[in-house]
Amino acid sequence: MIAKKVCLLGPTGVGKTSLVKRFVEGIFSEKYLTTIGVKIDKKTVTIDDTEIQLMLWDMEGTDRYCGFQTRYLRGAAAYIIVVDQTRAQTLIEGMEIHKLVKEECDIPSLLVVNKSDLDASWHWTADELDHYKRHFNATAMTSAKTGENVETMFNDLASLAFGSTQE
Amino acid sequence: MYSLNKALSAFDCAVLRQRSENTYELVHNNFPWIFELFNTSTSEASFNFPSRSLFLDDFIEQAKELWETSLDDQLNSGIWTEQLNKDLELHLEAIAINSKDEKLLVLHNQEQQFIQRQTTLQSARELVIANEVLQEQHIHVRRQFEKILLESRSLGDKIEALSDVIDHAQFGVLILDASMRPLLQNPAIFDLFDLPYEPSSTNVFNTLSDLARKQYPEFERVLSVRENWQGELLWMQPPFNTKWLKVTLYVIGDSDPDTYHWCLFVTDISRLKHLQQHNETLALHDPLTQLPNRQFFWRCLERFCANPDVFYVLYIDVNHFKQVNEAFGHKEGDRLLRELANRLKNTLKKKDVIARVGGDEFAIILSDINEPEHCQKIADRMQKNAHDVFTTEGDERYYISLSIGAVSYPNDGKNPETLMKYADLAAYKAKSDENQAVELYSSELTQRSSQRLTLESALRDAVKNDEFELMLQPILNLTSNRVVKAEALIRWNHPERGIIMPGEFIPLAEQTGLIVKIGKWVIEKGLALIQSIQSSGFRIKLSINLSPRQIRDPGLLSFVEKQLEKTDIDPSLLEFELTEGTIVSDYDTVSKLLNLFRQKGISVAIDDFGTGYSSLSYLKKLPIDDLKIDRSFVKDLASDDNDKAIVLAVLAMAKQLQLDVTAEGVEDSSQQQFLNEHDCELGQGYLFSQPVTFDNFISYLRTKN
Ligand SMILES: Nc1nc2c(ncn2[C@@H]2O[C@H](COP(=O)(O)OP(=O)(O)O)[C@@H](O)[C@H]2O)c(=O)[nH]1
Ligand SMILES: [Mg+2]
């Protein structure tokens, strides 16, 4: 079976760990437990009749207490930048992380706007969002809480990862 | 090996040595999970990759790269979490070591470090996130407020629309009218204080302002100058009820002083405070700068005040901090605070205390200092350190400065409240005076703040009674000596005090928002003067000053358009002057506005150039026509080499950007000669003429042109 490493990046508290939990275990918890270091989960998906084992690298959020760790990107086939639509600041920080990754490696990326079950209190207009989305191969609006779009998003991610290293 | 084993037995770790590429043998083991990790039995002495850990398999590839080199070095994996089965979660770290003839892999159980890091960061991050979400909601509600308040509908309609917004807000909201009477409050704010909801009761506001006055000595001044403010209040209701409340105060509708409102947002942050207090370092430390925080500083100050020993308290506010945040992002703002904290710390003695007491505010206790000169010297040094260039991660350079207020114990005050109140007042004074780096508190300051209130009410009357006058100062072409432009300068004819210069009342007008009305008067009057000059047979451009608050007034552009239409004046005869500070304070608004001016044919000059912090990259992007070199550089042009260099640099830069340059404050012919020689085209100053009345201006024109 083909195995693909994918990384979940983004600021703290946007729902990276929750997305993985929803996808792999089908559960969600309101309680926030901050991630320390790295944790890898795996799950098999089928893309065009091919089974792919996704290795999901969930990492400590990038913030003032934890810098961005490029070394964990090694061997990754794709990554997602997760942001939270109740905090405008997370999009700005997400874009900064995106820029840092781009300097490091050239692999497909997905922008995930999470917490779609909540009201978007941020002030980005559709136009401004489009402007940001253009820097990614694809985007998705998800909710780890309701599960909305989570499966689809990870499948898209798997396709991106699969496509990126296929000869 | 024996002693190594003994040393290592203190750690929960296993040491493996590479035998062949994927096979490792055990050198030391004090780590029972090693067999699980490699899925081997305990009798086994060798371990093969791949292991059961995806992370470790990934790491070993990097380790091999290190081992292939001959470097005596090591590589650290960082902490990872390994879920070995449903109930067994390990927190591990791997270290690859390359030493002369050994390739070693250490696996280390980091349970303790993991727990410690997680408990510390859990509350720290919850705080950051809660703050961000709160900020976001505040901005959201505030935008809606501003929209509603600026719309022209009846007060009743406005109140109804506002209620709709705040009834659903997730935090307490209180709106007060200009005289601090509650106009509207939501049920949530009564809940916070366990009070029954009574829409017109003043209980909540009274409680809040009492708490704020006691716990934040600067609060009174904040109200009197109408600043936005944020603080954390401790509310105690005997016997058991204690809450931490985060309070944010906004002034809304400030461009019209007659209809502005106060708006208070209140959130219960007790849970976060509780989390924070679990952890002594967090409770008294600012995690960003690693300095002590406000609570800690307060305790120290109380301790110092219990002793007779003299000391000074400094209150430091970073000028232009908001701009750095806006221009370069919050991350750079954070970096600035950390760097500045270090620079400040380096100027202190061991016994001194420094703390971060607010967003961009620091407080310092200078122990054993009695002489104002001595305090001044230290503060000067801080100012100097702060003036050194700051560099962003993207290598962009920028500068900041500080407003420093100083009070002495026991001369100026004997308790923490008084000392902090006066230090804040002094820092505030320092802020309004760009050239004053450090302001030492004097009783005059408290007097002055009451004089200020008198002046403010006189200024309100002045607007009503039309007590202003517009003077004109000619601007000459330095080669032809002909008048090509004039600057409009305002005077206030106070019925009792006589003439008051703009330097005295414009800052006050700016703070109170009266500037918007006064500014409109100036524009209207200025355009009338352009007409009169034209009818006297001259075509002279008029330059009018715009302040930051005028720029933020959303009605400015349409007002200018309407006036131009009404008077039918050629817009190319109108120029607006903005200071550098105005530009950097709100780049986006300014940039939009200036482009619209340019479209209309109105030109733009930058006033006081050289005193602010704008970088060349700012200027390049803005539609600017003229730079005015600040008088402070022109003054000592003949004798001061530094000033000479600055002026020459500005001239060179202007040439490159194809901007005109006007020298302000030209007072003697040697200055004119220097400017002439270096292609500075325009000048104004006493050498030619002081600001004069319209009639005198026309006579002057007749002699010159
Ligand atoms: N309402 C809502 N909350 C979410 C969602 N995803 C995550 N959360 C919550 O956000 C907080 C942070 O989630 P977490 O997955 O730990 O974020 P991480 O730091 O990016 O890994 C937790 O309290 C989650 O319950 C979502 O889609 N909707
Ligand atoms: Mg996480």
Q: Whose CA is nearest to atom 22 of ligand 1?
A: A32
Reference B376, options B420, B314, B446; nearest CA is: B314
Please tell me the distance from the alpha carbon of residue A116 to that of residue A113, in angstroms, as a whole number: 7
Say what the pLDDT of residue B121 is: 85
pLDDT value for B613: 53
Taking CA atoms, what residue in B is nearest to A84?
A: B133
Question: In this structure, is residue B446 part of a structural domain?
Answer: no
- Distance separating alpha carbons of residues A65 and B227, to the nearest angstrom: 31
| CATH (domain of B169) | 3.30.450.20
- State the distance from the centre of ligand 1 to the C-alpha of A143, rounded, in angstroms: 9
**What distance in angstroms lies between residue A15's CA and the mean position of ligand 1's atoms?**
4
Provide the domain limits for residue B670.
465-704
Q: Which of B249, B241, B176 is nearest to B218 (CA)?
A: B249
Query: What's the one-letter identity of residue A15?
Result: G
Whether B645 maps to a domain, the answer reads yes
Residues of A (8-27) whose Cβ lies below 8 Å from B: 12-13
Q: Please name the residue whose Cα sits nearest to atom 2 of ligand 1.
A: A115
Interface residue of B56, B59, B80 to substitute, partner A, most A CBs within 10 Å: B80
For the stretch B301-348, pLDDT in tens is 999 998 889 999 999 999 878 778 877 777 889 999 999 999 999 999
B152 compared with A143, residue with greater pLDDT:
A143
Tell me if A63 and B125 make a contact (CB, 8 A cut-off): yes
Is residue B481 located within the same domain as residue B431? no
Q: Are residues B122 and B104 in the same domain?
A: no
Please indicate, yes or no, whether residues B34 and B66 belong to a single structural domain of this protein: yes
- Is the pLDDT reported for residue A11 higher than 60? yes
CATH code where residue B409 lies: 3.30.70.270
Question: Would B241 be classed as within a structural domain?
Answer: yes
CB contact under 8 A, A121 and B132: no
Task: Kindly state whether B128 is in contact with chain A, defined as any CB-CB distance less than 8 angstroms.
Answer: yes
A134 in reach of chain B (CB within 8 A) = no
Instruction: Please tell me what DSSP assigns to residue B496.
Output: T
Closest alpha carbon within chain A to B78:
A37
Confirm or reject: Cβ of A61 under 6 Å from ligand 1. Answer: yes
Q: What residues does B438 pair with on adjacent strands?
A: B404
CATH class in words for A2-164: alpha beta
**Count of structural domains within chain B:** 4
Whether B341 and B394 share a structural domain: yes
Q: Rounded CA gap, A140 and B583, in Å?
A: 38
Q: Which residue of A has its CA nearest to B325?
A: A89
Task: Looking at the structure, tell me whether residues B501 and B632 fall in a common domain.
Answer: yes
Amino acid B254: pLDDT: 61
Query: C-alpha B654: how far from its chain's center?
Result: 29
Which two tokens mark B300? Answer: 């120290």
Q: Which two tokens stand for residue B93?
A: 């770290």
Contact B594, B564 (CB under 8 A): no
**B541 and B628 assigned to the same domain:** yes
Q: Does A36 touch chain B (CB under 8 A)?
A: yes
Contact B685, B663 (CB under 8 A): yes
| A36 to B81: CB separation less than 8 angstroms, yes or no | yes
A13 alpha carbon, closest ligand: 1
Contact A86 B80 (CB under 8 A): no
Backbone φ/ψ region at B395: left (φ over 0), alpha (ψ -120 to 50), beta:
left
Same structural domain, B45 and B190: no
Which residue CA neighbors atom 23 of ligand 1 most closely? A32
Residue B457 placed within a domain: no
Comparing A59 with B400, which gets the higher pLDDT? A59
Determine the number of helices (DSSP H) and then strands (DSSP E) in chain B.
27, 28
**Do the domain assignments include residue B449?**
no
Q: CA dist B459 to B12, B262, B468, Å? A: 75, 21, 10
| Ligand 2 center from residue A56 Cα (angstroms) | 12
- Residue B211 Cα distances to A7, B221, B277, angstroms: 48, 15, 21
Task: Report the residue count for chain B.
Answer: 705
Q: The domain that contains B512 carries what CATH number?
A: 3.20.20.450
Q: Is A14 in the pocket of ligand 1 (CB under 6 A)?
A: yes
- Residues in chain B within 8 Å Cβ distance of A86: 133, 136
DSSP assignments along B65-90, one per residue: HHHHS---EEEE---EEEEEETTEEE
Report residue B504: phi and psi, to 5°.
-85, -35
Question: Which amino acid belongs to residue B170?
Answer: Q
- The pLDDT of residue B1 is 45
For the four alpha carbons of B289, B294, B299 and B305, in that order, the dihedral sign comes to positive
Query: Is B458 part of a structural domain of the chain?
Result: no
Model pLDDT, residue B214: 87
Going by the DSSP 8-state scheme, the letter that residue A128 receives in this structure is: H
Nearest CA to ligand 1 atom 25: A30
CA-angle at A145, arms to A141 and A147, nearest 5°: 60
Q: What pLDDT is attached to residue B5?
A: 54
Q: Could you tell me if A96 lies within 8 Å of chain B, comparing CB atoms?
A: yes
| A117 touches ligand 1 (CB under 6 Å) | yes
Name B38's Cβ contacts closer than 8 Å, sequence gap at least 6: B47, B48, B51, B52
Whether B75 is in a domain gets the answer yes
With b for 16 or more beta-carbon neighbours within 10 A and e for fewer, the B614-651 pattern comes to beeebbeebebbbbbbbbebbbebeeeeebbebbeebb
Say whether residue A5 is in contact with chain B using an 8 A CB cutoff. Answer: yes
Whole-angstrom Cα distance, residue B283 to residue A90? Answer: 26
Q: Are B260 and B289 within one domain?
A: no
Question: Which residues of A fall within a CB distance of 8 Å from B132?
Answer: 87, 89-90
Distance A120 CA to ligand 2 centre (A): 21
Ligand nearest to the CA of A18: 1
CB contact A92 to B (< 8 Å):
yes
The residue ranges of DSSP E strands in A31-99, in sequence order, are 38-47, 50-59, 76-84
- Residue B448 placed within a domain: no
CA B267–ligand 2 middle distance (angstroms): 26
Could you tell me if the CB of A17 is within 6 A of ligand 1? yes
CA A8 – ligand 1 centroid, Å: 13
| HSE-up (13 A, CA, CB side) for residue B514 | 18
B125 and A88 in contact by Cβ < 8 A? no
Could you write out the three-class secondary structure of B542-578? EEEECCHHHHHCCCHHHHHHHHHHHHCCCHHHEEEEE
Q: How far is CA A85 from the centre of its chain?
A: 14
Nearest residue on chain B to A42, alpha-carbon basis: B54
User: For position B37, which CATH number holds?
Assistant: 3.30.450
Q: Is the CB of A144 under 6 A from ligand 1?
A: yes
Q: Is the CB of A30 under 6 A from ligand 1?
A: yes
A99 contacts chain B (CB < 8 A): no
B290 touches A: beta carbon within 8 Å: no
Select from B358, B352, B239 the least CA-distant residue to B295.
Answer: B358
Low-confidence spans in chain B with pLDDT less than 70:
1-11, 254-259, 276, 278-282, 433-436, 449, 584-586, 610-618
Listed by start position, the domains of chain A span 2-164
Q: What pLDDT does residue B654 have? A: 85
Which is the closest atom of ligand 1 to the Cα of A146?
A: 27
